[in-house]
């Protein structure tokens, strides 16, 4: 716990950036959206790591590597989102309480599930994250913040690519598919 007595910037406030020349009211809306994306990224990151740690089965190695890479992609996206929120004069969500408050997605519980169920849960989460990123790209564009929109587009491309890979892993001829056993 910090012993610092002076707060440099309270969470939820915006320090206007002369360099970026974005109206404070617009910046507030974008920072709010970015904090949602940041919180969602950390929920997704932790779920991907959970699956990376617990994956078993015939395709263990490929899935273990993929899930580790997908988690790293998500962590890099979170870092870029947080840095953009800060550049706009905001404070990125950082505490567990605020991350939970801002997240619009919910991770699965602590239990370990078979990899097919785990990847299906990941797909659902990816879909929600993708929809949110698209909405926030549109918001940033409408508010004239083309740089944030571009950053989120780049993150969206990587996020969609990882979701597409999961979709391939879920094909009927991969993993253990109960329908093929009947």
pLDDT in tens, 88-120: 999 999 999 999 999 999 999 999 999 999 999
What pLDDT does 57 receive?
86
pTM confidence score: 0.88
Query: Does any domain span residue 158?
Result: yes
Spell out the alpha helix ranges (H) of 14-59: 24-54
How does pLDDT run across 150-160, given as a tens digit for each residue? 999 999 999 99
Tens digit of each residue's pLDDT (9 = 90 or more) over 30-58: 999 999 999 999 999 999 999 999 999 88
Q: Is residue 18 part of a domain?
A: no
Helices and strands, number each (H, E), in the chain: 6, 0
Domain enclosing residue 82, as ranges: 24-171
Pairwise CA distance, residues 71 & 26, whole Å: 31
Q: What total of structural domains would you count in the chain?
A: 1
Whether the pLDDT of residue 12 is over 80: the answer is no
pLDDT value at residue 22: 80
Helix, strand, coil content of the chain in percent (nearest 5): 65, 0, 35
Residue 17 lies in a domain: no
Q: Are the CB atoms for 77 and 159 separated by under 8 Å?
A: yes
Residue 162 domain-assigned?
yes
Position with higher pLDDT, 117 vs 17: 117
- Say what the pLDDT of residue 39 is: 98
Q: Looking at the predicted structure, is the pLDDT value of residue 85 above 60?
A: yes
Convert the pLDDT of each residue in 113-146 to its tens digit. Answer: 999 999 999 999 999 999 999 999 999 999 999 9
Residue 121 lies in a domain: yes
């Amino acid at each position: 716990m910090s012993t610092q007595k002076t707060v440099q910037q309270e969470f939820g406030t915006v320090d206007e950036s002369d360099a970026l020349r974005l109206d404070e009211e617009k910046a507030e809306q974008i920072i709010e959206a970015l904090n949602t994306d940041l919180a969602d990224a950390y929920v997704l990151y932790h779920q991907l790591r959970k699956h990376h740690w617990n994956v078993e089965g015939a395709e263990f190695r490929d899935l273990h590597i993929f899930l580790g890479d997908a988690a790293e992609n998500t962590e890099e996206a979170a870092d870029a989102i947080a840095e953009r929120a800060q550049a706009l004069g905001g404070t990125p969500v950082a505490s567990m309480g605020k991350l939970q408050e801002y997240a619009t997605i919910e991770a699965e519980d602590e239990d370990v599930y078979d990899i097919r169920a785990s990847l299906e849960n990941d797909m659902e989460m990816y879909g929600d994250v993708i929809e949110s990123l698209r909405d926030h790209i549109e918001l940033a564009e409408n508010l004239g913040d083309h740089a944030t929109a571009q950053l989120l587009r780049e993150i969206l491309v990587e996020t969609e690519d990882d979701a597409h890979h999961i979709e391939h892993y879920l094909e009927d001829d991969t993993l253990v598919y109960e329908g093929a056993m009947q």
